[in-house]
Amino acid sequence: MGVVKGVICHHTAGPRSGNMPSLGVLKNGRADLAGPLAQLGLGRDGTFYVIAAGRANHAGRGEWKGITDGNGSFIGIEAESTGIGDPTKPGFEPWPEVQLDAYRRGVAAILAHLGQDAGMCCGHKEYALPKGRKSDPHTLDMERFRSEVAALMSGAAAPVPSIPRKDAEDRPTIRRGATGNPIFLVKEVQRKLGFGAQQVDGAFGPLTEAAMRRFQRAHGLVPDGIVGPRTWKALDTVAIGP
> Is the CATH code 3.40.80.10 the one for domain 6-154?
yes
Greatest mean pLDDT among 115-119, 165-169, 224-228 lies in 115-119
* pLDDT of amino acid 240: 78
Residue-range domain boundaries for the chain: 6-154, 163-242
pTM: 0.79
Asked if pLDDT for residue 151 goes beyond 70, the answer is yes
Average pLDDT, the chain: 94
The whole-number pLDDT of residue 171 equals 95
Buried-exposed string 169-190: b where 16+ CB fall within 10 A, e elsewhere: eebbbbbbeeeebeeebbebbb
The per-residue pLDDT for range 207-221, each reduced to its tens digit, is: 999 999 899 888 888
Which residue type does 147 have? S
Cβ-based neighbours of 235, under 8 Å, separated by 6 or more: 189, 192, 215, 227
| Paired sense of beta strands 48-50 and 33-34, if any | unpaired
CATH architecture assignment, domain 163-242 = Orthogonal Bundle (1.10)
**Across 219-226, average pLDDT:** 86
